[in-house]
């Protein structure tokens, strides 16, 4: 079963789980106003637009039912299963054979051995529930795991016990070079960050992602090992992304699971197998099953201040109780117990957001901001840069954006002294230690890269910041323009022609002879303005281009961009109106 961005909610199943006080049409109207957007509505389902939301509870029918009951002031049609009601509590059962070698990555792992089963097509009610939720029916034994996942949000997997050597499951990380053939019949190469379910001879499944082909339920299956677990969400996400193997299960593991829902789902699934004639022979529950209760204190004054509306205390309490918070009134507010399945509620602001949406965002009136309106930020420099970029593109150049750092290759090949540059105190890597004080060296790297890709002619530019050290002060940030052209023996002439066409921006900039070890001795000039150097234009020295593997001539120009230039250009345009 592949992953969908959204959650399809079966209408008939929702009505089964809710004592709904309003029509389904009203539910559809309220969902985008109070909870989450909808993508598609049909006779059979409501598709919730889950993209960008961190509501793990809405990836289950029970979670959606709680939400619909809250926003419609209805009641749910089920009770929370207590631990003394779990199917295994009434029997003293032997332990299923399990070894968990990586307990930090698997905080809770459960296996139930169920025998006496027979594979058949599922009944019509099961098939409809699955199809309405966008899931294909396979057979009765496999369908139970999907039904439990859809109702409780807890992924489950059934292994054919006959294909597991000695019926002993081992949970471990993969070994280098190990492989597995998954249910989609593709061979997957594994790395040590992948969590595996194995027996003593082979891998049986990618934990939290997809089962293995060698132990799937078949028509001959009569005994299963039913798995329900919580795996480290980061490891599951990395495995699913690396293998490009998203699934409904991996999505739920990544969003977060609760131990209580796991045990409820496991008990419900076992009961469904028993209704098919199955016999629970053994069960193992490895890990801590306790679920700590989150408590949050909410101040009434902050509620009304943040929302901008004076909501009555009794209304706030009503909203919170409808959302199944435990509510205790205290001075100036409330002490709350967060429902165990609301993993997204952790701080007071989260609770205030819950109150606001239950009140109704559309009911919150707009208000004028108090105080003085701040002065408009001077945008002339940014307008100047924007128009400059447009002109450069019109002249046939391509804009690039490079990192604000020098690579170790640039530092080495250009002979820059680290002491002349600004060092980052906490760099991400050795390649991001020193901030750039010029743009063109990074463009030279881009020229080299593109020539290696087979491009014959390169004409690129960048407008960005450079960082210049200042003694006993913060570094100075300057905007600069850099252009690089590698287009035959006349690159420098083509570059100078482009520079002349930018007369509107840099009209009174003059060329003077200059020397630099980085540029050709007779094909390089300083750019002067108002008696000071503001940039340079020239052909990069062949000694430098050779180090970058460039055989073509590369012409470079780099110029300062100042706010004064922007103001001067703006004033000129005003005078010409």
Boundary of a domain, candidates 53, 76, 99: 76
**Average pLDDT value over all residues in the chain:** 90
Distances (CA, A) of 224 to 158, 210, 283, 341: 6, 17, 12, 29
Residue 70 tokens read as: 């809250």
Q: Are residues 95 and 212 in the same domain?
A: yes
**Do 346 and 297 touch, CB atoms closer than 8 A?**
no
Q: Are residues 49 and 195 in the same domain?
A: no
Using CA of residue 14, residue 16, residue 22, residue 25, what is the dihedral sign?
Answer: positive
Q: CA-to-CA distance for 49 and 7, rounded, in angstroms? A: 7
Comparing C-alpha atoms, which of 508, 565, 530 is closest to residue 381?
A: 565
Comparing C-alpha atoms, which of 51, 54, 2 is closest to residue 233?
A: 54
Task: Tell me if 370 is assigned to some domain.
Answer: no
**pLDDT digits over 538-551, tens only?**
999 999 999 999 99
Mean pLDDT of 236-240: 90
- Give the range of the structural domain holding residue 71, as residue numbers without chain letter: 7-76
**pLDDT digits over 385-419, tens only?**
998 999 999 999 999 999 999 998 898 888 888 88
Pick the range with the lowest mean pLDDT from 89-98, 186-195, 471-480.
Answer: 471-480
Q: CA-to-CA distance for 292 and 340, rounded, in angstroms? A: 8
Task: Tell me if 312 is assigned to some domain.
Answer: yes
Task: Tell me if 35 is assigned to some domain.
Answer: yes
pTM of the model: 0.68
Q: What is the domain-level CATH number for residue 329?
A: 3.30.56.10
Residue 380 three-state SS: helix
Q: Are residues 445 and 329 in the same domain?
A: no
Task: Tell me if 368 is assigned to some domain.
Answer: no
pLDDT at 210: 87
Task: Tell me if 269 is assigned to some domain.
Answer: yes
Task: Compute the residue count for the chain.
Answer: 577
Task: Tell me if 427 is assigned to some domain.
Answer: yes
- Tell me which DSSP letter residue 410 carries: H
**pLDDT digits over 21-35, tens only?**
999 999 999 999 999
More confident residue, 458 or 215: 458
Beta bridge partners of 188: 180
Query: Could you give the residue ranges of the DSSP H alpha helices within 35-173?
Result: 61-72, 124-132, 140-152
Beta bridge partners of 560: 480
Q: CA-to-CA distance for 248 and 146, rounded, in angstroms? A: 10
**pLDDT digits over 500-540, tens only?**
888 777 777 888 887 788 999 888 998 888 788 888 999 99
Identify the band that residue 62 occupies on the pLDDT scale cut at 50, 70 and 90.
Answer: very high
**Residue 572 pLDDT exceeds 60:** no
Q: Are residues 428 and 559 in the same domain?
A: yes
pLDDT at 577: 34
pLDDT at 426: 86
In the chain, % of residues over pLDDT 90 = 60
**Residue 350 pLDDT exceeds 70:** yes
Q: CA-to-CA distance for 245 and 26, rounded, in angstroms? A: 37
Identify the band that residue 2 occupies on the pLDDT scale cut at 50, 70 and 90.
Answer: very low
Comparing C-alpha atoms, which of 299, 308, 297 is closest to residue 360?
A: 308
Q: What is the rounded end-to-end Cα distance, in angstroms, of the chain?
A: 65
**Do 215 and 204 touch, CB atoms closer than 8 A?**
yes
pLDDT at 543: 92
Identify the band that residue 574 occupies on the pLDDT scale cut at 50, 70 and 90.
Answer: very low
* Residue 424: how many other CB atoms lie within 10 Å: 13
Task: Tell me if 367 is assigned to some domain.
Answer: no
Q: CA-to-CA distance for 475 and 455, rounded, in angstroms? A: 37
- Tell me which DSSP letter residue 286 carries: E
What is the residue-wise DSSP string for 316-374?
HHHHHHHTT-EEEEETTEEEEE--TT-TT--SHHHHHHHHHHHH-GGGSPP-PPPSPPP
Identify the band that residue 567 occupies on the pLDDT scale cut at 50, 70 and 90.
Answer: low
Q: Are residues 39 and 180 in the same domain?
A: no
Q: Are residues 316 and 270 in the same domain?
A: no
Q: Are residues 108 and 245 in the same domain?
A: yes
Q: Are residues 99 and 60 in the same domain?
A: no
The HSE-up count of residue 471 (CA atoms within 13 Å, CB side) is 0
Classify each residue of 111-138 as buried b or exposed e, where b means 16 or more C-beta atoms within 10 Å of its C-beta. bbbbeebebeebeeebebbbebbbbebb
pLDDT at 474: 82
**Do 484 and 555 touch, CB atoms closer than 8 A?**
yes
Comparing C-alpha atoms, which of 120, 200, 205 is closest to residue 159?
A: 205
Report the number of distinct structural domains present in the chain: 4
Q: CA-to-CA distance for 444 and 451, rounded, in angstroms? A: 11
Q: Are residues 539 and 442 in the same domain?
A: yes
Q: CA-to-CA distance for 323 and 334, rounded, in angstroms? A: 15
**Do 230 and 261 touch, CB atoms closer than 8 A?**
no
Task: Tell me if 2 is assigned to some domain.
Answer: no
Mean pLDDT of 152-163: 93
Q: Are residues 119 and 199 in the same domain?
A: yes
**Residue 3 pLDDT exceeds 70:** no
Beta bridge partners of 279: 115
Angle between helices 140-152 and 259-275 (to 10 degrees): 150
**Do 558 and 438 touch, CB atoms closer than 8 A?**
yes
Q: Are residues 220 and 251 in the same domain?
A: yes
**Do 273 and 253 touch, CB atoms closer than 8 A?**
no
Q: Are residues 87 and 22 in the same domain?
A: no
Q: CA-to-CA distance for 114 and 158, rounded, in angstroms? A: 10
Boundary of a domain, candidates 304, 327, 361: 361
Angle between helices 300-307 and 313-322 (to 10 degrees): 90
**pLDDT digits over 64-76, tens only?**
999 999 999 999 9
**For residue 532, with 0-12 CB atoms within 10 Å meaning exposed, 13-18 middle and 19 or more buried, which class applies?**
exposed
Residue 365 tokens read as: 């009136």
């Amino acid at each position: 079963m592949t992953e969908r961005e959204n959650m399809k909610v079966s209408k008939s199943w929702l009505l089964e789980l809710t004592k709904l006080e309003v029509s389904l049409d009203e539910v559809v109207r309220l969902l985008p106003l109070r909870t989450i957007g909808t993508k598609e509505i049909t006779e059979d389902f409501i598709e919730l637009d889950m993209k960008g939301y961190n509501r793990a509870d809405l990836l289950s029918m029970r979670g959606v039912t709680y939400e619909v009951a809250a926003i419609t002031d209805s009641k749910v049609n089920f009770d929370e299963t207590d631990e003394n009601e779990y199917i295994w509590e009434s029997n003293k059962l032997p332990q299923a054979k399990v070894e968990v070698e990586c307990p930090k990555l698997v905080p809770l792992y459960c296996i139930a051995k169920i025998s006496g089963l027979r594979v058949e097509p599922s009944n019509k009610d099961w098939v409809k529930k699955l199809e309405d939720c966008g899931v294909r029916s396979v057979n009765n034994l496999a369908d139970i795991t999907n039904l439990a996942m859809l109702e409780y949000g807890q992924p489950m997997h059934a292994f054919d016990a006959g294909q597991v050597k000695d019926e002993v499951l081992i949970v471990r990380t993969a070994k280098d070079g190990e492989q597995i053939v998954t249910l989609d019949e593709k061979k997957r190469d594994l790395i040590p960050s992948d969590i595996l379910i194995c027996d003593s001879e082979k891998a049986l499944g990618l934990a939290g992602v997809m089962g293995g082909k060698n132990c799937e339920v078949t028509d001959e299956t009569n005994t299963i090992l039913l798995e329900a677990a919580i795996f480290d969400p980061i490891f599951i996400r990395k495995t699913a992304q690396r293998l490009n193997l998203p699934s409904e299960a991996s999505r739920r593991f990544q969003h977060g699971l609760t131990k209580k829902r796991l045990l409820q789902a496991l008990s419900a699934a076992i009961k469904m197998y028993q209704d098919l004639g199955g016999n629970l022979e053994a069960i193992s529950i490895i890990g801590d099953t306790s679920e700590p209760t989150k408590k949050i204190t909410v101040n009434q004054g902050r509620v009304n201040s943040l929302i901008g509306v004076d909501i009555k205390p009794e209304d706030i309490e009503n909203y919170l109780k409808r959302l199944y918070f435990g509510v205790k009134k205290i001075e100036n507010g409330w002490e709350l117990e967060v429902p165990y399945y609301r993993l997204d509620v952790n701080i007071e602001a989260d609770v205030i957001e819950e109150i606001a949406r239950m009140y109704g965002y559309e009911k919150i009136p707009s208000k004028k901001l108090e105080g003085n309106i701040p002065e408009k930020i001077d945008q002339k420099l940014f307008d100047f840069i924007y128009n400059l970029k447009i002109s450069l593109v019109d002249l046939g150049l391509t804009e690039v954006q490079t990192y604000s750092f020098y690579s170790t290759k640039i530092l080495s090949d250009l002979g820059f002294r680290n002491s002349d540059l600004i060092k980052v105190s906490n760099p991400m890597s050795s390649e991001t230690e020193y901030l750039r004080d010029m743009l063109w060296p990074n463009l030279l790297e881009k020229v080299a890269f593109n020539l290696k890709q087979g491009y014959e002619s390169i004409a690129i530019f960048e407008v960005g910041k450079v960082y210049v050290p200042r003694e006993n002060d913060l570094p100075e940030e300057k905007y600069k323009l850099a252009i690089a052209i590698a287009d035959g023996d006349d690159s420098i002439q083509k570059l100078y022609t482009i520079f002349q066409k930018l007369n509107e921006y840099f009209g009174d900039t003059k060329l003077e002879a200059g020397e630099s070890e980085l540029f050709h001795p007779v094909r390089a000039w300083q750019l002067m303005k108002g008696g000071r150097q503001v940039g340079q234009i020239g052909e990069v020295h062949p000694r430098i281009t050779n180090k970058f593997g460039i055989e073509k001539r590369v012409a470079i120009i780099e110029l300062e961009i100042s706010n004064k230039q922007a103001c001067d250009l703006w004033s000129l345009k005003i005078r010409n109106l």
